[in-house]
Amino acid sequence: MTVAIIAGKFRGKKLQTASGAGMRPTPGVVRERLFNWLATEIAGAVVLDLFAGSGALGLEAWSRGAARVDFVENSPAHQRILAQNLAHCGLEAQKNLLAQDALVALPRLVHGYDIVFADPPFANGWPERLRPLLLGENSALRLGGWLYLEACAAELWQQSDLPPAWQLYREGRCGDSHYLLLHQQRSAV
């Protein structure tokens, strides 16, 4: 199975994806909507793609002018596919791929990213485990950062689950995937 990069310098490049039950690359229509929402934020941004899988979200950001994109992927099978996709787009896996669990990687990546994409496996409690690491004081996101979360409906955060500095910017649904884009207000302490 392949997905294509939608826009930018790698427009039309085909990316390999893993196959099998539970595999669900972010559909093109969702990626297009997400990157329309982030259109003015991508150029020059430092981006983190958690649970990267094929790397479609991070590579789309790279294609559209992100300054740096790092990928976190724990599965050895997905790491191999991701390394191929990174090479296909001119990135070096050894520089850009963190081959570890997101819960291990995030505490080491404090305050470095303008945008984080998180598309964890569904129905495994990941959003709840990630919330303090992504929205807390020691977040990997810089002040004023953006967070995209894709999850099943039961695991998706509500505005009441968010710290005061975080606001729901946009949300949507595609099949079983529910997604939201959050923005941290710059006046946060």
Domain 2-184 sits in CATH at 3.40.50.150
d(CA 117, CA 112): 14
- What are 134-170's pLDDT values in tens digits? 888 878 898 899 999 988 888 888 778 888 889 989 9
d(CA 173, CA 189): 32
* Most distant CA atoms of the chain, gap in Å: 44
Contact of 97 with 86, CB cutoff 8 Å: yes
pTM of the model: 0.90
- What are 12-62's pLDDT values in tens digits? 999 988 775 455 667 678 889 999 999 999 999 999 999 999 899 999 999
pLDDT band at 131 (very low <50, low <70, confident <90, very high): confident
Contact of 14 with 3, CB cutoff 8 Å: yes
Contact of 152 with 176, CB cutoff 8 Å: yes
